[in-house]
Amino acid sequence: MRGRKGQSWKRGESWVGRGRAGLFGAGLRVTGSGVSRFAYWVRAIDEDDFVPSSEPLHLKILPVTPLRQNCSVLYDAPGGVGVVTDPGGNVESILRFIEAEGLRIDAILLTHGHGDHVGGADELREVLRARQGDEVAVIGPDRRDAFLLADARGQAERLGIMGARDVQPDRYVEDGDVLTVMGREMLVRHVPGHTPGHVVFIDPAARLALVGDTLFRGVIGRTDFSYGDHAALVDGIRAALMVLPDDVAVLPGHGMPTTIGAERDGNPYI
Ligand SMILES: [Fe+2]
């Protein structure tokens, strides 16, 4: 099963579009320090697609590093299973949250190879493996960011972030991959331009997109790197994200969450 250009999903059903009969049972509860605390419900995708939970999903936003990068912990319930995305640093605070909620972490997802997103991944994997006694995989980004992952420490130090480590993922991802993490299916889309191997993770059942440094509230990611590509970033955002329904929540790598609809209407770069 592969998502294809974000436009089809399972059994040939269109995921894009509005007004589909859906279940209203699944929800996403978002909390975070550094952003105002809020909670809301989102619509499940379709009764034929995925098994919607009657319980809300939880998304904790943990701003890490001096750049306040949005590390996130998506989890089903306190005492349940979770997945950490972009642990750029401040591993102790991430671990403290995981411990306080009593979570078993299924995987660590990386959107791209910048040091403020990946600098804590190797340490977090090491500690979680020891604590949980099982293999916690670092998954992503696309292989084209390998050169950045191999210099995560150097990048982080140049940004004033100390204690970062280079990281070797257990698995790279490719556009169209569907990951199964914490019993959920997440679609991977490749959105290059900020970095060559940048990916976004889309959880259709939760109507959530974890987009790293591609799309922000009102702006898009930097492309003023030697490997940056503004046109590719705009094209990628349009192809992978702007095809999603308006009510899909978007968590960028920095700053406040937004929605696809808000950016479709108000983002001058796309
Ligand atoms: Fe970045």
Domains defined along the chain, listed by start: 22-266 (3.60.15.10)
Amino acid at residue number 251: L
Residue 3, pLDDT > 90, answer no
Q: Report d(CA 256, CA 34) in Å as an integer.
A: 9
Burial state string for 131-153 with b = 16 or more CB within 10 A and e = fewer than 16: eeeeebbbbbbbebbbebbeebb
Give the pLDDT of residue 55. 55
Q: What is the mean pLDDT of residues 180-187?
A: 88
Q: Tell me how far the alpha carbon of residue 70 lies from the centroid of ligand 1, in angstroms.
A: 11
Q: Tell me how far the alpha carbon of residue 212 lies from the centroid of ligand 1, in angstroms.
A: 7
Q: What is the mean pLDDT of residues 14-42?
A: 32
- Give the rounded distance of the alpha carbon of 243 from its chain centre: 17
Q: Tell me how far the alpha carbon of residue 115 lies from the centroid of ligand 1, in angstroms.
A: 8
Q: Tell me how far the alpha carbon of residue 113 lies from the centroid of ligand 1, in angstroms.
A: 7
Average pLDDT along the chain: 82
Give the pLDDT of residue 150. 98
Q: pLDDT category, 247, cuts 50, 70, 90?
A: confident
Q: Tell me how far the alpha carbon of residue 267 lies from the centroid of ligand 1, in angstroms.
A: 19
User: For the ranges 53-67, 70-84, 112-126, which has the lowest average pLDDT?
Assistant: 53-67
Length of the chain: 270
Give pTM, 2 decimals: 0.83
